């Protein structure tokens, strides 16, 4: 494992883990964990999430002052912040599919999994396809998944994507701290 600082984040980098969200449960706010491979990545309802080499597998811990009730809708605010970055790449066909998928047209490029790890903090998990090929693990995904490398040239690299997504999570947290649903209702 190696560590680095990116903005407000202390990032723990691993080669292979079972799940970055599981590791993040023991971290403090403004710490994150990433892995080159997750061998037991999961999505909502415990569904398997293909997370081979070449994708971004990230879990970031943020404080939740006031508890979960004051943070209702945070997943939407995070998804919107990441969507803004995708559209600026430019991926104008990027969209957010409620409640936790980032899409390019009709294909999934990323998924979010938020878990409350304690009463005062939340783990924001995100898996994003960059150069990985999730359809190698499950051929049925070839009809429903995409990756940055197939959507934009040149695709941003893993480090650039990591920094952008962590920045988006921090922006979403700042927005949510200032207004219900981070001002998105306006």
| pLDDT at residue number 66 | 83
117/64 Cα distance (integer angstroms):
10
179/119 Cα distance (integer angstroms):
20
Instruction: Specify the pTM.
Output: 0.92
How high is the mean pLDDT of the chain?
90
Mean pLDDT of the 73-96 span? 95
Residue 137's pLDDT band, with cuts at 50, 70 and 90, is confident
| pLDDT at residue number 63 | 96
Q: How far is CA 117 from CA 6, 60, 101, in A?
A: 22, 11, 21
Residues 6 or more apart in contact with residue 26 via CB below 8 angstroms: none
| pLDDT at residue number 186 | 53
**178 or 129: which carries more pLDDT confidence?**
129
Mean pLDDT of the 48-71 span? 87
Burial of 152 (0-12, 13-18, 19+ CB in 10 A): middle
Q: What is the pLDDT of residues 13-40, one digit of tens each?
A: 999 998 999 999 999 999 999 999 988 6
Residues 6 or more apart in contact with residue 44 via CB below 8 angstroms: 99, 100, 113
Mean pLDDT of the 38-47 span? 65
Mean pLDDT of the 38-63 span? 79
Residue 46's pLDDT band, with cuts at 50, 70 and 90, is low
Q: Are 30 and 7 in contact (CB under 8 A)?
A: no
103/164 Cα distance (integer angstroms):
17
């Amino acid at each position: 494992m190696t560590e680095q600082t990116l903005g407000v984040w202390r990032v723990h980098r691993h080669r292979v883990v079972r799940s970055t969200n599981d590791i993040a449960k023991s971290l403090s706010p403004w710490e994150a964990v990433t892995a080159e491979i997750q061998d037991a990545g999961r999505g909502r309802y415990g569904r398997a999430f293909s997370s081979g080499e070449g994708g971004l597998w990230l879990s970031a811990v943020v404080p939740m002052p006031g508890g979960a009730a004051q943070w209702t809708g945070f997943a939407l605010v995070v998804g919107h912040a990441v969507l803004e970055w995708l559209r600026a790449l430019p991926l104008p066909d990027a969209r957010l599919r409620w409640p936790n998928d980032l899409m390019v047209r009709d294909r999934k490029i990323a998924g979010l999994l938020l878990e409350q790890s304690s009463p005062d903090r939340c783990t924001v998990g995100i898996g994003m396809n960059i150069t990985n090929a999730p359809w190698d693990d499950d051929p049925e995904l070839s009809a429903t998944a995409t990756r940055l490398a197939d959507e934009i040239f040149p695709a941003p690299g893993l480090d650039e994507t990591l920094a952008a997504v962590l920045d988006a999570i921090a922006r979403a947290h700042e927005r949510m701290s200032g207004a219900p649903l981070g001002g998105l209702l306006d």
